[in-house]
Structure formats: structure tokens, C-alpha cells
Amino acid sequence: MAVMNYRGEEMRNLSVDGARLWKSLMDMAEIGATPKGGSRRLALSDSDRQGRDLFVRWCREAGCSIRVDRMGNIFARRPGKDESRPPVMMGSHLDTQPSGGKFDGVYGVLAGLEVIRTLNDHGYESDSPVELAVWTNEEGARFAPSMIGSGVFAGTYSIEKGLACADVDGTTIGEELRRIGYAGDDPCGGRPIRAFFEAHIEQGPILEAEGKTIGVVTGAQGLRWYDVTVGGMDSHAGTTPMDRRRDAMAGAARMLVAAERIGKTTPGAVTTVGMLRVVPSSRNVVPGEVFFTVDARHPDGDTLAAMDAALRGSFAEIAQQADLKLAIETVTDTAPVVFDEGCVDAVRQAAEGSGYPCRDIVSGAGHDACFINEVAPTAMIFVPCKDGISHNEIESAAPDDLTAGCNVLLRVVLTAAEW
């Protein structure tokens, strides 16, 4: 038990500099700062480049060597006593949503930097080398799919697919990496990693509501994304009797109610209709076509499959009753993620050993850690965020909670460095 040995004693005394971590977060947030206090650093934009440059400068100042792989993933390395051992890795992402906050992703990167700075402060030598990763295009706001940098690293996507991802203007990741100077030479992935830990704000309300400081993340929900198109018949709103209509909007409304009911009646499930478009979209025309999206998530794969069946069944019944055409396309199908037991235990022990109130939690969102989990023992550390709000300029987190999560990250990294 690492926590009991000499170095363990030292570990218990070792703590990060919360003020320094906070200042780094605020300094990074200045890049692409938005009016309401958030940040806009779309992947591989000029502001993303500035954020990367600042990160690289900080890491070099902390004595790290820098490597960049072909997907533009950045790795800052602090040597270990035994350089032949695979590294313990920390990290997350620096890109943001169009109207993103200061903490989503950035916290996991700069908490890792604070860990390295703390090790430097104490001249601490870890057995294994420690690396800090910045993954490319986690948000997916500019280039779909999201988490492409970690996805290629984990072998989920090919390097060709990754570099060919294009934004709405047709500009590819490969082109933008060259433009901003982050098209590295290292192969993307294919090397051993002893363990990977990602610290992140919860992006949900649970920890705050329960007064917990640390979320011990045991895995991530499965996710299915659907594109649904309902086809009816345009007709005149004033002259078409109700019983002669094929109203795509009225039918879609009943499908939305069914989707919400399935989310509410399945314990642990969430269902969301985030986009809806009406054609022709005129206030006095009975709509002939409606397109909408469904986002369905659950931590258990079988339950998610049952939700899929329930959605399809209720949509089909509604369409049949209303004489409407129905097309359902599954655009994303991500299985639930279960993190490494040893890594999860290490997080739980570090949190409890530090006296932080904690609870096990399943991530509602996708993270780079979900992909890295495929190629390395992985876990995540959640800290509360204000009102559970994320992907929003007003996203906020308490300095003490951020410090606590960073201390847990420090301790699990030191533990894993001895594995």
C-alpha cells in the first residue's frame, strides 16, 4: 500500500499550490475571453494556438520536454528515476465550446501542470516518468466527431480519418494543424502508458447538491444520437379540417413527449431533444416535415438498448396513427465505459485519505479518458461546478474544490508512479 510507505508519508504532506493553480486557470481564460467571463477557443483556431503556446511555455519553464504527435496531441514529460518504465499520464483538453467556460478541459490540463510544479517544488523524483497530455479537438464543436485526438491515439479512429475531419467551411484538421504549427512528427498512440488520470469539473449538479468535494468516476454513460425525420403533408392552416391533416409538427410533438417520458421513467436515464427544424416554417401552413435530434444516455448497455427499442416503438406507433412518414437514423452509438478498477480505487483512497467528502459517480458526458481507457488503465476525478452548469460562459467552480481535485490527482499520480 503506497499510502503507508516512506514516500507515502511524504505524499500525505505534499499538497499543491491552489493559488498558483487558480492563477494559471485565470491566465489561460484570458485567451479567447468572452464578455460573460467564459472562453472561446475553438479547436485549432488562432486562440487555440495561443492557448497551446502558453501551455508549452509553462511546461518548458517547469523543466518538461515537449513532444507533439501527428494529431497535434501535446505531451509534456517530466523524467522519472527509471526512464524505461511507461509513463503515468495526466491530461485533458484546451479547446472550448463556442461559448465555453474557463474550466471544462482546461482544469484537467492545468491541474496536471500544477502537479508537476508541486513535484518540482519538493524536488520529488517519481519512479516512473510523468506525462501531461493536451488532446486535440475534444469538444467536437468545430470538427466532428468529438474527442478525435484521444480517439486516434486509442486506435478508435485512423490517423487518416482524424486528419481529414473538416469543419463547416471544409477546412481539415490536418490543414489547421500545419497552419498553427502543431502538426507533429510523433506517431499518434502505439506506446505503453502505465495509467491515465483526467481531472474534470462534473458538468452536472450531483456533487454540489450532495455536498461532495470529489467524484470518484467509475465510468461513463453509453450514448446514442438519432436524427429523426417526420414526413406529413403541407396544407393550409385555415381551410384544412383537423381530421384531414397530416401534420408533421403535431406528430413530432407527441414523439418528443414520448422521448421525455422514456427518459423520466427509466432510472438513471437521460433523453434530450436539442434540435428541431420545421418545413416550410410558416405560421399558417400545416408543417409537411419536421426534423429533430434525440440524445439518449444510460450507464448500462442493456438498458440503453431497451430505451432504443422503446423510442423506436413509440415513434412508429405515433407515425402510424397520424399517417406520417418516419425515418430514424442512428448517428452515434457509444457503449458505456467502465474505468480500471485499480485506478478507480486509487482515486477513492486518495480522496478518502485526504479527508475529502467523496462519492462514486458515472460521467454523463464523454471525455478523452473514455478513449484512453481502451489502451491504458484509466480513471477520472470530478470536482463540483456551480449549479451543474457547463458548456456555458458562466460555468464556474470553487477554488477550494479545484485545489482538492488537484491534490487527489497529485496523490494518485504518485501512487501509480510506483506501480
Residues in contact with a second copy by the rule CB under 8 A = 97-99, 139-141, 144, 146, 202-206, 221, 223, 225, 233-244, 247, 249-250, 253-254, 256-257, 260, 263-264, 269-276, 278, 280-288, 293, 295, 297, 363-366, 388-392
- The residue assigned the cell 524536488 is 123
Work out the burial of residue 205: count CB atoms within 10 Å of its CB; fewer than 13 is exposed, 13-18 middle, 19 or more buried.
middle
- Cβ atoms 55, 63 nearer than 8 A: no
- Cβ atoms 367, 380 nearer than 8 A: yes
Nearer to a second copy, 113 or 217 (CB): 217
- Shortest Å distance, C-beta 220 to a second copy: 9
- Shortest Å distance, C-beta 101 to a second copy: 10
Nearer to a second copy, 120 or 235 (CB): 235
- Shortest Å distance, C-beta 398 to a second copy: 18
Nearer to a second copy, 114 or 247 (CB): 247
Nearer to a second copy, 58 or 107 (CB): 107
Backbone phi, then psi, for 214, in 5-degree steps?
-125, 130
Nearer to a second copy, 37 or 280 (CB): 280
Cα–Cα distance for residue pair 102/241, rounded to 1 Å: 53
- Shortest Å distance, C-beta 268 to a second copy: 9
Nearer to a second copy, 166 or 206 (CB): 206
- Shortest Å distance, C-beta 250 to a second copy: 4
Assign residue 130 a region: left if phi > 0, alpha if psi is -120 to 50, beta otherwise?
A: beta
In the beta sheet, which residues pair with residue 68?
Answer: 74
- Shortest Å distance, C-beta 329 to a second copy: 12
- Shortest Å distance, C-beta 105 to a second copy: 12
Cα–Cα distance for residue pair 103/141, rounded to 1 Å: 16
- Shortest Å distance, C-beta 267 to a second copy: 10
Nearer to a second copy, 97 or 126 (CB): 97
Nearer to a second copy, 68 or 214 (CB): 214
- Cβ atoms 71, 136 nearer than 8 A: yes
- Shortest Å distance, C-beta 280 to a second copy: 5
- Cβ atoms 416, 346 nearer than 8 A: yes
- Cβ atoms 385, 103 nearer than 8 A: yes
Nearer to a second copy, 132 or 397 (CB): 397
